[in-house]
Amino acid sequence: MNINPKIIGAGIFIVGIVSLLGSLVIMYALILMGSVTGYLSSVDPAFLTQYGADEITMRQTINMLNIALIIGWIWVICTFFAAVSAIYFGFRKIKPKKK
């Protein structure tokens, strides 16, 4: 079974585009999540006790969200570079260099 390299290159290129779009959407979500944790960390402790939450629990939750944000950013950056390399190598398979 002989598979055309251009078909494989087109598949890799399409997977790279989809992965790039997905990583950009997740980047936007992480930016929003980071701004929310910024707003939560600047809340007055007296305001929290008014609604039945204590300050220590809120600070622990914010710290856990910050750790999740760091892990998320590492994942997004790795996915972004993998998508860019898939697009590059897929394009190279579609349009080989002329000799």
pLDDT over threshold 90, residue 76: yes
Specify if 1 maps to a domain: no
Is residue 3 one of the residues assigned to a domain?
A: no
CA-CA distance, 56 to 1, in Å (whole number)? Answer: 64
Q: Residue 12 carries which side chain, given as an amino acid letter?
A: I
pLDDT tens profile 3-29:
888 888 999 999 999 999 999 999 999
| Structural domain includes residue 4 | no
* Residue 34 within a domain: yes
Task: Give me the number of domains the chain comprises.
Answer: 1
Judged against a pLDDT cut of 90, whether residue 79 lies above it is answered with yes
Q: Closest Cα to residue 20, out of 91, 69, 98?
A: 91
User: What is the pTM (predicted TM-score) of this model?
Assistant: 0.77
61 within some domain: yes
The model's pLDDT over 50-65, given as tens digits with 9 standing for 90+, comes to: 777 787 888 888 899 9
Whether residue 98 is contained in a domain is answered as no
Structural domain including 69 reads 9-92
Confidence of residue 99 (pLDDT cuts 50, 70, 90): low
Res 41: pLDDT: 81
